[in-house]
A and B are shown apart, each in its own frame.
Chain A
């Protein structure tokens, strides 16, 4: 596979995973770029042992986790304040709220739910994170419950 094609196909997917992890568009862009640099460097040695998607998501997840050694606190600033008063929040705002909620989850949960929302199969998520499939299923269920709760809480 040619790097340019991968880049076009996966840029937004990788960006969203980073965004779910840090909830800061600029930082997410930087991390996404770093991830593509690694993909570009390692692509020649990629053997088709796993699907290319799994391989890319592994690199992406691990590089998000690498942020642990770079900063102690995550900036979670991207939520416009005035909009919070609107009684019927629009989709754009809900989307921002979703990213904020995800970035507040424990680190590994952020990655698991991001991959799930990216339509990655649970078996693949298990391979990416190193968890068992049943464990992934349970975790996704719990995380979704938590997110729903947050959305509901906010509505009240």
Chain B
């Protein structure tokens, strides 16, 4: 082979039959539907939980204010969760593909960092609201039992909460952080390529 390899000629050999345009349109619609379904599924399940709790409230007519506050906090925890997950979608969809590569990479980095922040905050807030909510909710019903019952009820509940807070939350946060951090560091490496 000579010194002058005609890269352009070799490059132009790369071809693929273009799928019919209608296939592009169909795929676009399918994609839209998928995203919409994904958002809906999460929202419906959690909304049903909220409705269920409002039903408990209405059906059992709790007497103590602590029970009501407890239920409110649990519902707030779920709403908080919903808001933050729903917030992610527009945030992620907001990438501007029409900008140059450098800007695009910086933009992706910003989004990932924001995502990591939201993940962390959301998870902590969710756990705190939920734990306090359950604690308050229990006061009325645990208070009706004997001392042993109270100790057992609170002991088990707190052991469960501690397990969630120190183990499940930490593990979930770590897993999320790892996934996002990996992407962030890859993005940083690629962005660095442009600066060299």
| A interface with B by C-beta (< 8 Å) | 3-4, 7-8, 11-12, 15-16, 19-20, 25, 28-29, 32-33, 36-38, 40-42, 55, 58-59, 61-63, 65-66, 68-69, 72, 91-92, 94-95, 98-99, 106-109, 111, 114, 117-119, 127-131, 144, 147-148, 151-152, 155
> B14 near A15 (CB under 8 angstroms)?
yes
**Are B97 and A42 touching (Cβ within 8 A)?**
yes
Q: Interface with A: B38-46, B98-106, B146-154, which one? A: B98-106
Chain B interface residue count, CB cutoff 8 Å, equals 40
Among B20-28, B64-72, B76-84, B129-137, the one that faces the other chain is B20-28
CA distance in complex: A25, B16 (Å): 8
Identify the interface centre among B1, B97, B102: most chain A CB within 10 Å of its CB.
B97
Chain A CB count within 10 A is highest, among B13, B14, B27, B187, for: B14
Given contacts A42-B97, A62-B101, contact A33 B24 (CB under 8 A): yes
List B residues 97-131 near A (Cβ within 8 Å). 97-105, 108, 112
B8 CB within 8 Å of chain A:
yes
Q: When A28-B16, A40-B28, A91-B13 are in contact, do A98 and B7 touch as well, CB less than 8 Å?
A: yes
If A65-B105, A128-B101, A130-B101 touch, whether A106 touches B5 (CB-CB below 8 Å) is: no
Can you name the residue of chain B whose Cβ is closest to the Cβ of A147?
Answer: B7
Given contact pairs A59-B97, A98-B10, A127-B100, A68 touches B190 in the complex (Cβ within 8 A): yes
In the bound complex, what is the Cα–Cα distance between A135 and B7 (angstroms)?
21
A109–B190 alpha-carbon span in the complex (Å): 10
With contacts A37-B31, A106-B190, A130-B101 taken as known, whether A15 is within 8 angstroms of B16 at the C-beta atoms is: yes
Taking A65-B105, A68-B183, A131-B194 as given, write out 20 further A-B residue pairs in contact, using a Cβ cutoff of 8 Å, ordered by the A residue number. A3-B21, A4-B21, A11-B16, A15-B14, A15-B18, A16-B12, A20-B11, A28-B16, A32-B16, A37-B31, A58-B99, A58-B100, A63-B97, A68-B187, A98-B11, A108-B194, A109-B193, A128-B100, A130-B99, A151-B1
Given A12-B16, A15-B16, A95-B10: A108 touches B100 (CB 8 Å cut-off)? no
A63 to chain B, nearest CB (A): 7
State whether the Cβ of B144 lies closer than 8 Å to any Cβ in chain A: no
Interface residues of B in 157-180 (CB under 8 A from A): none
Cα–Cα distance between A31 and B99 once the two chains are bound (Å): 18
Minimal beta-carbon separation of B103 from chain A (angstroms): 6
Bound CA–CA A119/B100 (angstroms): 18
Is the Cβ of A62 less than 8 Å from the Cβ of B97?
Answer: yes
**Whole-angstrom distance between the alpha carbons of A4 and B24 in the complex?**
11
Cβ of B3 within 8 Å of any chain A Cβ, yes or no, is yes
The answer to whether A108 and B14 have CB atoms under 8 Å apart is no
Cross-interface CB contact of B15 among A12, A66, A69, A72, cutoff 8 Å: A12
Nearest opposing residue in chain A for B15, CB measure: A12
A63 to B97, CA, bound (A): 7
What residues of B have a CB within 8 angstroms of the CB of A109 in the complex?
A: 193
**Is B18 in contact with A108, judged by CB distance below 8 angstroms?**
no
Q: Which residue on chain A has the smallest CB distance to residue B31?
A: A37
- Chain A residue nearest in CB terms to B194: A108
CA distance A60 to B3 in the complex (A): 31
Q: What B residues does A19 contact at CB under 8 A? A: 14, 16
Task: Determine whether the beta carbon of B98 is less than 8 Å from that of A59.
Answer: yes
